[in-house]
Chain A
Amino acid sequence: MIRQWGDVNIRGAARYIAKRIAEFAVSVVALSFVIFSLLYIAPGDPARSLVGTRKATPELLARIREQYHLDDPFLSQYGRWLEGAFHFDFGESIRSGASVSDTIAPHAVVTFELVLISLAISAVVGVACGIAAAKGRGRLRDGAITVAALVGTSAPSYAAGLVFLYVFALKLGLFPIYGIGNGSAADELWHLALPAVTLAFGVGALLVQITRSAMLKEAASDYTVFMRARAISPLRVTAAQMKNASPAILTSAGLVLAGLFGSTVLVESVFSIPGLGNLLASSVTFHDVPVVQAIALLLAVFICAASTAVDICVYLINPSWVQRHGVRWKGGRHERIHA
């Protein structure tokens, strides 16, 4: 007996979810492996890399060797690191000597706030503009939105951020220039506004393109013509089109989240926001390997988790669509994002 939950066949859904989670696990393990092994691919002695900017005395090198078990076989070192990672234990920062997870935590909060705000902005504005462009196909507003979207998807986020910073903060004085303010929530939100818009510009533009082409496809469909031929209200026609276009748009949400987490590194640096990205960039410069590894793993896991969650949601909303378009449909043939 096939058990149904709404339109979803439960056994099929369970199989799909299990498959998708397994893929997620494989991706995360592979990523963690790559991130960890980079330290060893680097030319020279890993102990020296871990010295960072301290003075490399023989005693210090010996201590580091012991602390990081550098004389153990590679795989057992990796296993130990991964096990620590499960408990958010990434060792100590070379730069500050403080625990890596304590160092990262406050930065992570800021980055999450930033990403969430820009997710909201890009989702609302991107989808709305995409629909507006499709509905006004060939008109001026379509042209303007399409060009803006092309610029948004092509321009690197830090370059766009710099232009925004100069125009809106420096010249027009509409927004603060640097940092996240004096600590009050309202002030922080105020400081995050322009960076969030910058982040949203790039990924929102992708959403515009995906939404526009999905809605155009639905508008040209036979069922649309047939609904119009029956004098069904335009509102209801648009609702049907949006429902049919939604899997294509929703699937891109995974891409959007990946783009947000990827670009945040650069945008934070432009606006001097003390988030994960800024910490990553400065830790890279300081060769603070444990911090770099921890942040990279954290961001990579979030990116993979986001796309997994989105895929599962899309499946539950419309299983047949997923079956038609395959497990991971990344927008059209050429839609992708800087991440």
Chain B
Amino acid sequence: MSASTPRLRQGATLASAGFCISLGILAVVLAFVLFPEAFAPNALAQDVAHGGLPALSSGHPLGTDALGRDVLKLLIAGSRSALAGPLAIAAGSMAIGLLLGGIAGWYGGAADWIISRYADLTLSMPSLLLAIVAAGIIGGGYWVSVLIMVILYSPFDIRLVRSAVMQQKGMAYIESARLLGLGARRILVRHIFPNVTLVIFVNFFLNIAYGLVSMSSLSYLGLGVSPGAADWGRQISDGRALLFDNPACALSAGAAIIITAVAVNMVGRQIMERSL
């Protein structure tokens, strides 16, 4: 008895409107990531004489930062470092998840035990805290932080793939594929993975959203990106001192992060719900 009252259908319409808006937002952000120069040429050009101009100044719709750089251009240019890392994190974590989760789920036994304990252990580690400490002590740049995040995010994918594979393994159609005498690789690739791609894809999206937050948190603390680079987290911490002169500097970066993260999350969740 699937329920869809007028009330609930209204909710569904709202959700799909949100889904479309989120997709639109992501398309715009992606365009900024791919072609920053087209939308914001010379974003890093400084003009210290005109630092801290408030929003709606002539030629600077969002004003300028302390170094006199145009905030709108900075915002567009900053999208790249905001999203490149999270994409890499999500992709890397998915690759590890597919490999280790697939092995653990399909073969079980000792391999499963070792991989599961590894996942449990990494899962119990506070990832942002460790990333802060690691970035701080090792002093590595952006990609070192990305690597740490990949390692700390992967247990979620490992568990996801493992349980999806285990669930598939018990399905009658997998048992009958085994009775046909098909090999493990054919069953994994042709019969199991097509049925688990969806959950993995959804998790990929959610990983991007979480990665966005983690990476920008690091750059907010001044870790991972070099001073002066265009980056949303960086822009917030720099703009904080400018909160009286040009609040748009920090607030626009904050809004950009929140909106992008919400949009990615929304798309991921909607895909998940539609597919259930």
Query: Within residues 31 to 50 of chain A, which ones have a CB less than 8 A from any CB in chain B?
Result: 31, 34-35, 38-39, 41-43, 49
Q: What CA separation (Å) do A284 and B130 show in the bound complex?
A: 12
A23, A41, A158, A265: the one within 8 Å of B138 (CB)? A41
Does chain B have a CB within 8 A of A116?
Answer: no
Are B223 and A300 closer than 8 Å at their CB atoms? no
Give the Cβ gap from B17 to chain A, nearest Cβ, in Å.
11
Q: What residues of chain A lie closer than 8 Å to B7, measured between beta carbons?
A: 138-139
Chief secondary structure at chain B's binding surface? helix
Are A284 and B136 closer than 8 Å at their CB atoms? yes
Q: Which has the most chain A C-beta neighbours within 10 Å: B5, B203, B254?
A: B254
Are A27 and B124 closer than 8 Å at their CB atoms? yes
Q: What CA separation (Å) do A279 and B243 show in the bound complex?
A: 23
Contact with B along A211-233 (1 / 0, CB 8 A): 00000000000000000000000
B126, B214, B220, B251: the one within 8 Å of A258 (CB)? B126
Please classify how large the interface on chain A is, using the bins under 10, 10 to 19, 20 to 34, 35 or more: 35 or more
**Known contacts A138-B11, A338-B213; A150 and B129 CB within 8 A of each other:** no
Q: What CA separation (Å) do A134 and B237 show in the bound complex?
A: 38
Q: What CA separation (Å) do A159 and B269 show in the bound complex?
A: 22
B210, B253, B264: the one within 8 Å of A336 (CB)? B210
Q: How many residues of B contact A (CB 8 A)?
A: 64
A142, A151, A284: the one within 8 Å of B133 (CB)? A284
Are B222 and A333 closer than 8 Å at their CB atoms? no
Give the Cβ gap from B122 to chain A, nearest Cβ, in Å.
9
Give the Cβ gap from A45 to chain B, nearest Cβ, in Å.
13
Q: What CA separation (Å) do A30 and B119 show in the bound complex?
A: 13
Does chain B have a CB within 8 A of A121?
Answer: no
Q: Which has the most chain A C-beta neighbours within 10 Å: B137, B243, B261?
A: B137
Q: What CA separation (Å) do A154 and B257 show in the bound complex?
A: 9
Are A26 and B138 closer than 8 Å at their CB atoms? no
Give the Cβ gap from B67 to chain A, nearest Cβ, in Å.
20
Are B221 and A333 closer than 8 Å at their CB atoms? no
B11, B121, B133, B236: the one within 8 Å of A27 (CB)? B121
Give the Cβ gap from A201 to chain B, nearest Cβ, in Å.
11
**Known contacts A138-B11, A338-B210; A162 and B236 CB within 8 A of each other:** yes
Are B156 and A280 closer than 8 Å at their CB atoms? no
Does chain B have a CB within 8 A of A319?
Answer: no
Are B199 and A292 closer than 8 Å at their CB atoms? no
